[in-house]
Chain A
Amino acid sequence: QLVESGGGLVQPGGSLRLSCAASGFPFSTYTMNWVRQAPGKGLEWVSYISSSGSTIYYADSVKGRFTISRDNAKNSLYLQMHSLRAEDTAVYYCASSAPYIAFEYWGQGTLVTVSS
């Protein structure tokens, strides 16, 4: 099970930290991702972190503004978001990936709204 939290309303230029609590599977052996979905739009992959945290990727749209991290001791995934823009408004999902099984499990999502 994956449960996101931390979403909310933030002003343009502001910051927010999302969390994803994992349970029921060996979190430390899974790669993790953040995927977002703007209102009425499709899915957009945002960020990836390997099981150990040693390999990280970002979509160009968030590179330099977002930071993904994980705490395997706490079975938790994070997304620190800075310099937020209106176009970052979306439901943010965390999703786990096993070897050659991308986005196997998804959380319920947390809504981030960037507006003044």
Chain B
Amino acid sequence: QSVLTQPPSASGTPGQRVTISCSGSSSNVGSYYVYWYQQLPGTAPKLLIYRNNQRPSGVPDRISGSKSGTSASLAISGLRSEDEADYYCAAWDDSLSGPYVFGTGTKVTVL
């Protein structure tokens, strides 16, 4: 079950900035790195952000991540049509039987 809460949807027009939140607790987001993934329709997820705010090579710098306390955020600046996708956060969690937990997911729509 997901213990990281994300808004179900977010939207913006091309060029705008969109922010997605990821709310957790002291057993996950508050104590460990947060990761973000993009899933385009019909494809596998792709790593966007690791260690809270690091971008893998190939991910543009208009994509950024941040964390404060038990919440994290993903920001997409200069929104483009190709950003329309589902976005998931994830973190290590030490309160469950397994190490990882995903967020509930956010569908980003480019209007």
| A residues near B88, Cβ cutoff 8 Å | 42-43
**A57 and B47 contact, CB distance less than 8 A:** no
CB interface residues, B 60-111, toward A, < 8 Å: 86, 88, 90, 92, 96-105
In residues 51-95 of chain A, which contact B (Cβ within 8 Å)?
57-60, 63, 93, 95
**Are A101 and B51 within 8 A (Cβ)?**
yes
Cα(A90)–Cα(B76), bound, Å: 29
With A103-B37, A103-B90 known as contacts, the answer to whether A57 contacts B97 (CB < 8 A) is yes
B30 within 8 Å of A (CB atoms): no
A contact residues around B102 at 8 Å (CB): 35, 42-45
Q: Is the CB of B104 within 8 A of A42?
A: yes
A-B interface pairs (CB < 8 A), number:
73
**B98 contacts A45, CB within 8 Å?**
yes
How far, in whole Å, are A41 and B48 apart by their CA atoms in the complex? 20
Residues of B in contact, count (CB < 8 Å): 27
**Neighbouring B residues of A30 by C-beta, 8 Å:** none
Binds B, one of A10-18, A21-29, A106-114: A106-114
Q: Which residues of B5-60 are within 8 A (CB) of A? A: 33, 35, 37, 39, 43-47, 50-51, 56
Q: Which residues of chain B have a CB within 8 Å of any CB of chain A?
A: 2, 33, 35, 37, 39, 43-47, 50-51, 56, 86, 88, 90, 92, 96-105
> Which residues of A approach B to under 8 Å, CB–CB?
33, 35, 42-45, 47-48, 57-60, 63, 93, 95, 100-109
28 chain-A/chain-B pairs, Cβ below 8 angstroms: A35-B45, A42-B88, A42-B102, A42-B104, A43-B37, A43-B102, A44-B102, A45-B99, A45-B102, A48-B98, A48-B100, A57-B97, A58-B98, A59-B98, A60-B96, A60-B97, A60-B98, A63-B97, A101-B35, A101-B47, A101-B51, A102-B35, A102-B50, A102-B92, A103-B35, A104-B47, A106-B44, A108-B43
